[in-house]
Structure 1
Amino acid sequence: MTRHVTFMTIDDAGHYTPEQRAAIVAAYPAHEREARAKGIPVLGSGRIFPIAEELIACQPFRLPRYWPRLGALDFGWDHPSAAVELAWDTEADVVYVAKACRASQQTPAMQALTLKPWGEWLPWAWPRDGRRETLDGAGVALAKQYAAHGLNMLSRHAQFADGSVSVEAGLMEMLDRMQSGRFKVFSTLLPWFEEFRLYHRKDGQVVKLRDDLMAATRYGVMMLREAVVDPAEFRAGRKRSAGQSDPLAAFR
């Protein structure tokens, strides 16, 4: 028997006006609001990111092309492979999760077909298990398989500048950014928020279940220093004469 969990929040109750929804939520005790209004359960020994969604969610917008960007992958088969694209507003030091996708039982070739339209120039962060050989890849490491299908994979697996790969350090970097307003997620990325709501610990340990987009995001945050600007921005800048108008001026 196949089972599926669908999350609905009070915002999906279209028969209420925004004012009525706000009044209903305000009537709940503060510590019950996310569970009652958004269906977010309290799991294990606690959520990894105890942050209200409205503090990190933002409406999608056209990304300024001069913002550095980075893709990040989490490999999988029966549990999904996942990918996100991060955009970095370096002036305000705010990271935006602008794209996200997740799929099970997809080969590197199939994943590449989905991800290459994000930009063939886009660099991709990847985890340590990308060095492993796989049977379907005839002994070729996963990261090399993705590279062979046209993704611009970084030369080394995701790690901090000092070479460390601490999961906890990556999670704390994400949490610190969330708490300080320096981490935002496009509100349309529903699978990302599904994982965000359920990401939790049990007996102090991270529960590695339905955490694929969370893991990909963590790898991207760890490797944010490798984010680059779309090369087309530089080409456009060189071709534009001093007297020409700049079609991207509104986004600068």
Structure 2
Amino acid sequence: MPEISPSRFMIQAGWDDVPHLTEKTKKDLLNSTPPFLRDARSKGIPSLGAGAIYPIQLEEVSVKPFAIPRHWKKGYALDVGWNRTAALWGAQNPNDGVIYCYAEHYRGQAEPVIHATAIKARGAWIKGAIDPASRGRSQKDGEQLFEAYENQGLNLVPALNGVESGLYVCWEGLSLGRIKIFTTLQNFAAEYRLYRRDEHGKIIKKHDHLMDTFRYLIVNWDQIAAVQAPERYGDMGSGISDTTAGY
């Protein structure tokens, strides 16, 4: 899946973009369409119905970005590889325990130093959970990716990677309102809508890098989540702890 960026766009079209359909016709069509296909047909938003791993409309768990208080815990998860490296950041409201996925990194065919620089720009102090398979994978000249990213100054732990149990934890969090997604995460949204199983119930391992980081983030939250320490006693800064995102 190509990265969605200011120079790359994904065009969606549905009934709402067809000028010759009347409002009554659109309403009739919508009423005769199963709920899980309505966004796909009316707005052109991909939907996978019963095959979706998370059968929850993204709009139901999405929120507009807001300034994240500095005293909230933060953490991130990382899935590495040459064709695509992805990272996902989360922050937790201490009052109700809700975790907000607020930022993403999504880029392919770049060296670890490039990815690490982008990750540290969102807070070098934040601890991350990395795909445990990175300890045995090579990106260049046999170098282990886990060590390569640690050498770039990232604070990482190998993620627990029980797939089915992790998917259940994520699904439960979304269903109960314990996990929310910022509407600005366009690459996350694109993968979420395509994340599915085949006719045999197996997960389709394609365009799922951020979905893997999502699972690592939620399952390993207690191991990575922490509050940013003040630079000096009594200094809580400007309130902006991620200068890249602006909040």
TM-score range, shorter chain: 0.7 to 0.9
Q: 1:85 & 1:25 partners in 2: Cα distance?
A: 39
Q: Any residues of structure 2 matched to 1:1-252 within 5 Å, and which?
A: 6-8=10-12, 27=31, 29-31=33-35, 32-38=37-43, 39-42=45-48, 46-78=51-83, 80-134=84-138, 136=140, 138-154=141-157, 157-159=158-160, 165-202=161-198, 203-225=200-222, 226-232=224-230, 235=231, 238-239=233-234
Q: Deviations over 1:59-100 (max 9, x none)?
A: 00011111110011011212x110011111232121111001
Structure 1 residues 35 and 125, CA, compared in 2 at 3 Å: closer, same or farther? Answer: same
Structure 1 residues 215 and 24, CA, compared in 2 at 3 Å: closer, same or farther? Answer: farther
Q: Give the gaps of 5 or more residues in structure 2.
A: 3-7, 240-247
Q: 1:187 & 1:230 partners in 2: Cα distance?
A: 24
Q: 1:126 & 1:175 partners in 2: Cα distance?
A: 21
Q: Is the 8 A contact 1:84 1:213 kept in 2?
A: yes
Q: Is the 8 A contact 1:71 1:83 kept in 2?
A: yes
With the length of structure 1 as denominator, give the TM-score of the two structures: 0.78
Q: Is the 8 A contact 1:55 1:181 kept in 2?
A: no
Tell me how far 1:130 sits from its aligned partner: 1.6
Tell me how far 1:25 sits from its aligned partner: 8.8
Classify the secondary structure of the residue corresponding to 2:121: helix
Report the count of equivalent residues: 225
Classify the secondary structure of the residue corresponding to 2:69: coil
Tell me how far 1:149 sits from its aligned partner: 1.0
Structure 1 residues 24 and 217, CA, compared in 2 at 3 Å: closer, same or farther? Answer: farther
Q: 2:134 & 2:11 partners in 1: Cα distance?
A: 32
Q: 2:237 & 2:62 partners in 1: Cα distance?
A: 30
Output the amino acid matched with 1:150.
G
Q: 2:81 & 2:237 partners in 1: Cα distance?
A: 43
Tell me how far 1:246 sits from its aligned partner: 9.6
Structure 1 residues 129 and 92, CA, compared in 2 at 3 Å: closer, same or farther? Answer: same
Q: Is the 8 A contact 2:48 2:193 kept in 1?
A: no
With the length of structure 2 as denominator, give the TM-score of the two structures: 0.80
Tell me how far 1:104 sits from its aligned partner: 1.1
Q: 1:122 & 1:115 partners in 2: Cα distance?
A: 9
Structure 1 residues 23 and 77, CA, compared in 2 at 3 Å: closer, same or farther? Answer: same
RMSD of aligned C-alpha atoms?
A: 3.1
Residue 162 of structure 1: aligned partner: none
